[in-house]
Structure 1
């Protein structure tokens, strides 16, 4: 048996969108179950996101720290952002986020992993990139707003991140998945064997 996720779509008898926000919405679908019954499923409709695990020459990961109101915590995270434009190239979006949130650019980009953050209640798909060959971006910094005006930055050794994840001290989804995926990739075929930055992403098809 091949262990691989596969596309599938069950019949939807009725659908409604009771809430539409600035970036996301909530959808209610009446879905036909395998036994013929119909069950109502509510979920958040999300444009998708990208995240960047930026690794410097000293084997440190670039982190940002900001307040997240839904969980009432200030979290350490890796740079990330929404795919605001339908069909947007995820690599370009990731490069933009790394610049805007950290004022950094990278020479080498790979796909580290793709995840659904909470598939039981949201259709958000995230592509996490590995970025290496880091350097500062010249020129003016991006004008931050809202939570980002209070953002902190740090560069943390990979081993310290993994320790924090396993100790329950770090909770951001992309940081946790990215750090553990990095370690797994190193212990497997190596970082240079990761998928190219422009690898297809069926969850969020994009233009070249």
Structure 2
């Protein structure tokens, strides 16, 4: 028996019925009745999400730009990398990432690559996140973006990659995009190198976008 091909593939089981018991400002909850391969029908509840982008911004001293923000569902202040929603269907993820980096950190970058693409919680949410690597970073021009609500209390810092890796493995840092982004950065360096990462406009089947 040969080894299986380790690659995610598209597949969709038949939906017998579907409803949306809750609709919020940005997300909703959907209930699908799904026919299993053996013919049985089961209900599956999940959050419908527009998708997100995140940015691992790396400076020339090998530090990552991180921010600390209150997250009410987990009742913690988490250290994170800049991130935000894809607010418009079909929105170009690179432009969304550049916007988030500017709005949350007042920073721009010269070199952009796709670091990795992930589904955050595929058993209960269809959120897809594209994490970018941004290098050649510098202060953005113009006035800072006006922040509000949780973002008004954000702290910014630049932390060495090695210190973030230590914090992740010690169970001190928990934000999904930070954890995946930092460990992917280390893996890319140990592999073919950062310049071998996908181009910033690489295809993203989970959230197709316009050029």
Structure 2 residue 150 is the aligned partner of structure 1 residue 150: no
SS in 2 for 1:118: coil
Structure 2 residue 169 is the aligned partner of structure 1 residue 163: no
Structure 2 residue 57 is the aligned partner of structure 1 residue 51: no
- The structure 1 residue matched to 2:33, chosen from 30, 34, 37, is 30
The TM-score normalised by the length of structure 1 is 1.00
Q: Where does residue 87 of structure 2 map in the other structure?
A: 84
Structure 2 residue 104 is the aligned partner of structure 1 residue 101: yes
- The structure 2 residue matched to 1:72, chosen from 75, 99, 108, is 75
Which segments of 5 or more consecutive residues in structure 1 lack a partner in the other structure?
none
Structure 2 residue 198 is the aligned partner of structure 1 residue 195: yes
**Distance in structure 2 (CA, Å) of the matches to 1:35 and 1:8:** 16
1:55-109 per-position Cα deviation (integer Å, ceiling 9, x unaligned): 0000000000000000000000000000000000000000000000000000000
- The structure 2 residue matched to 1:4, chosen from 1, 7, 17, is 7
**Distance in structure 2 (CA, Å) of the matches to 1:130 and 1:202:** 19
Structure 2 residue 118 is the aligned partner of structure 1 residue 115: yes
Task: Using the TM superposition, give the Cα deviation of residue 192 of structure 1 relative to its aligned residue in structure 2, in angstroms.
Answer: 0.1
Q: Where does residue 16 of structure 2 map in the other structure?
A: 13
**Distance in structure 1 (CA, Å) of the matches to 2:161 and 2:5:** 32
**Distance in structure 1 (CA, Å) of the matches to 2:194 and 2:120:** 23
Task: Using the TM superposition, give the Cα deviation of residue 45 of structure 1 relative to its aligned residue in structure 2, in angstroms.
Answer: 0.1
**Distance in structure 2 (CA, Å) of the matches to 1:36 and 1:2:** 27
Which segments of 5 or more consecutive residues in structure 2 lack a partner in the other structure?
none
Give runs of ≥4 in structure 1 deviating > 6 Å. none
SS in 1 for 2:188: helix
Total equivalences in the alignment = 208
Task: Using the TM superposition, give the Cα deviation of residue 139 of structure 1 relative to its aligned residue in structure 2, in angstroms.
Answer: 1.3
Task: Using the TM superposition, give the Cα deviation of residue 150 of structure 1 relative to its aligned residue in structure 2, in angstroms.
Answer: 0.3
SS in 2 for 1:4: coil
Task: Using the TM superposition, give the Cα deviation of residue 26 of structure 1 relative to its aligned residue in structure 2, in angstroms.
Answer: 0.1
Task: Using the TM superposition, give the Cα deviation of residue 138 of structure 1 relative to its aligned residue in structure 2, in angstroms.
Answer: 1.6
The TM-score normalised by the length of structure 2 is 0.98
